[in-house]
Amino acid sequence: MATSRPAPLSTGTVNPWPCVRDGGPLACVLTVTVQPNARSTEATGLHEGALRIRLAAQPIEGQANEALVLWLARELGLAKRDVRLKRGAAARHKQVEIAAPLTAVQAWLQRTLGAPPAG
């Protein structure tokens, strides 16, 4: 299986987090893998290039998607309207569009997970 290299940023520096990419000057896209029905909601690490998130919500009638958006908004200090599910409404693998600079999301990942993965 081929390993992916970190994506270069528009500034010419390399993005050390494979789960997030630049989506424009004030936006980024976060790739997540969701595990619903967990005891608590938390980010637990990286899995196959995506941020693994355990959700304390059931995957019924969009409850897990709503919980994911609310949790990410709260964690990032954003309004709910600034976090939007882009792809994967009915799947475990999702893409979330975040109306925040890439550097802000990278800083949150650093605080939440520690050092970026060695690449």
Other CB atoms within 10 A of residue 39 CB: 7
> For residue range 69-107, what is the model confidence (pLDDT) as tens digits?
999 999 999 999 999 999 999 999 999 999 999 999 999
Predicted TM-score (pTM) of this structure: 0.86
Looking at residue 28, its pLDDT comes to 97
DSSP state of 93: E
Count of structural domains within the chain: 1
33 in any annotated domain: yes
Looking at residue 13, its pLDDT comes to 66
pLDDT (average), residues 55-76: 95
Compute CA distances 112 → 43, 46, 55, 91, whole Å.
Answer: 7, 11, 16, 24
67 in any annotated domain: yes
Residue 10 has pLDDT above 70, yes or no: no
60 in any annotated domain: yes
68 in any annotated domain: yes
11 in any annotated domain: no
Q: Mean pLDDT over all residues of the chain?
A: 89
10 in any annotated domain: no
| Domain hosting residue 86, numbered range | 24-113
